[in-house]
Amino acid sequence: MVIYGLGPYIADYEEQVVLACIVRNWCPKCLALRTDLDGGGLQRCQSHTDALVDGLDLATLWDEYGVIGDLVISLPPFTNDFPQADIHNLLSPDLLHQLIKGTFKDHLVDWVKKYLNVTHGSKRAKEIMSDIDRRIAAVASFSNLRCFPQGRGFKQWTGDDSKALMKVYLPAIEGYVPTNAVRAFHAFLDFCYLVRRNAVKEPWRRSSRNRALGQMLLTNQRIDKLAASRVNFTARGMLEGTKTATFTSPSRSPLDSGQRTTTKKIQLARTYQRKRAQTVAALADEMQVPHLRRLIRWFLFTQLHPDDPRDPEDVPSAICPRHEGKIKVFNSAALMFYAPSDPSGLGGMRREHIRACPLWRNKHARNDCVFVNMSELDGMQGLDIMRVLCFFSFKFRGDVYPCALVHWFNKVDDQADEDTGMWIVRPGFTHDGSRSVAVIHIDCIYRAAHLIPVYGTAPIPDELKYYHSYDAFCSFYVNKYIDHHAYKIAF
């Protein structure tokens, strides 16, 4: 026996018109007039449509309610034959054409251009749009994020272009449009991330596309079994995360250091860099961190004495472990983590690389940012942002310690920015103006983070490139819109 489950029916607008038996340019979900959307309107439903068809003539149905009466009579929606099914409730907007391309590209992005022209005139508007393009082009690299060397200047917009631009567009327009417009983009992006779920088309993608129905039903059955297994295994403690590590920054006491258990695994690259520093002293010179020896001693103290409540800075140096010998430097680390609704698929694992290398693709340095576990609090309350300056490992008393030398970023406020919905952070510096750096265990890294500058109001220079981004600005947004998982954790 097969039990069919009816869920959202995702279709483009033309197909929605046919399925709902309505006049084109009317909404298949409600009776609001397109010339007066703020005026409201009743929600469409099968029973209401049937009542209208029984009581009104075809002309009135067409003109006043947007219903094609003769079509409802002769060829009603297929859902009329299912109990507890209503085509108006089942219809879901086509995410690509109606949300991403329609609302974002054709409405919001074009609206910004029209607003600037009306407010500032065509000449000044053109200058502002050029600066917005430079802002977009200056966004730092991130895994699976396309570069925008020309800003919005696509010769032909594709769905992928729109999806990628959505991730970086909001900070680029801030300061040039009213606050309410920024908040409108913020609300729209939040809505998109709430309704987008990559697993929706997974059964179709896994099929051979030939007589796919049976294959899709089998895929759905297997997904249901896997989901049930995950619940069962979790309840039995079989999916507990990897070990957690405790770390301390120079400006924080061990009481502030946190632990978080996650389903993840992080490893340094397989091959270390033989041409880079191979001793602590050499690495200190290479990274221009003269007190690296002291940072490593503090790091070892927290690793060997995780329950000691003292700040490592307050511990007599005579009893701090010392390692000043050989090290191995790595240009990257690979991280696998549980990330539902991402390209890995619902309930799957995602793999990403975190780069910290002096020459990326033989062109420029690349030092990625990361989320780091700080406490068990939810979202950004329990996470900090750090920029990885270097990955290295060393052996001490028979154990190998994979580490990262990081530059701390401080949160500007204790909550996300009200207008953009994103947290703002700034690079940390000590009282003498040097970078606030620390050595942490790589297990503390939760996943890669993406930052976008808070551009302010001054135009950015033409020569500023995306690989200058993290060094050229004073404050940054933590980009929660970079992917589904970041949106889930960076609230």
pLDDT of residue 39: 74
356-365, long-range: CB < 8 A, 24+ apart: 356/330, 356/331, 356/332, 356/388, 356/389, 356/390, 356/391, 356/404, 357/331, 357/332, 358/276, 360/141, 360/467, 363/467, 364/465, 364/467, 365/467
Task: Specify the 3-state DSSP secondary structure of 99.
Answer: helix
Q: By the 8 A CB rule, do 157 and 177 touch?
A: no
- The average pLDDT across 391-399 equals 95
- The average pLDDT across 430-439 equals 92
Q: Which CATH class is domain 264-449?
A: mainly beta
Q: By C-alpha distance, which of 283, 475, 466, 297 is closest to 389?
A: 283
Q: By C-alpha distance, which of 331, 445, 340, 328 is closest to 396?
A: 328
**458 Cα distance to chain centroid:** 27
Domain positions in the chain are 9-92, 96-198, 199-235, 264-449
Span between the terminal Cα atoms of the chain, in Å: 44
Q: Strand 9-10 and strand 91-92: pairing?
A: parallel
Q: By C-alpha distance, which of 404, 369, 424, 470 is closest to 143?
A: 369
pLDDT tens digits for range 9-33: 878 888 889 989 999 889 888 888 8
Look at 385 and 261; give whichever has higher pLDDT. Answer: 385
Question: Model confidence at 411, in pLDDT bands (50, 70, 90)?
Answer: very high
Question: Model confidence at 230, in pLDDT bands (50, 70, 90)?
Answer: confident
pLDDT tens digits for range 137-162: 999 999 888 877 777 665 566 767 77
12, two tokens:
């483009």
- The average pLDDT across 268-286 equals 95
Task: Report the predicted TM-score, pTM, of the whole model to 2 decimal places.
Answer: 0.80
What does residue 446 show for φ and ψ, rounded to 5 degrees? -85, -50
- What does pLDDT average to over the chain? 85
Question: Model confidence at 194, in pLDDT bands (50, 70, 90)?
Answer: confident
- The average pLDDT across 183-207 equals 79
pLDDT of residue 454: 96
pLDDT of residue 263: 62
Of the listed ranges 314-328, 376-390, 432-446, the least confidently predicted one is 314-328
Q: By C-alpha distance, which of 266, 283, 286 is closest to 332?
A: 266
What does residue 393 show for φ and ψ, rounded to 5 degrees? -140, 160
Look at 263 and 136; give whichever has higher pLDDT. Answer: 136
Q: By C-alpha distance, which of 195, 155, 148, 154 is closest to 169?
A: 148
140, two tokens:
């730092």
pLDDT tens digits for range 340-364: 555 545 456 788 999 999 999 888 9
Q: CA-to-CA distance for 259 and 252, rounded, in angstroms?
A: 14
Q: Strand 369-373 and strand 399-411: pairing?
A: unpaired
Q: For the chain, what percent of residues have pLDDT higher than 70?
A: 89
Residues 161, 164, 166: CA angle, nearest 5 degrees? 105
Kind and range of the H or E element at 213?
Answer: helix 212-235
CB burial of residue 427 (10 Å; 0-12, 13-18, 19+): buried
Residue 175 pLDDT more than 70?
yes
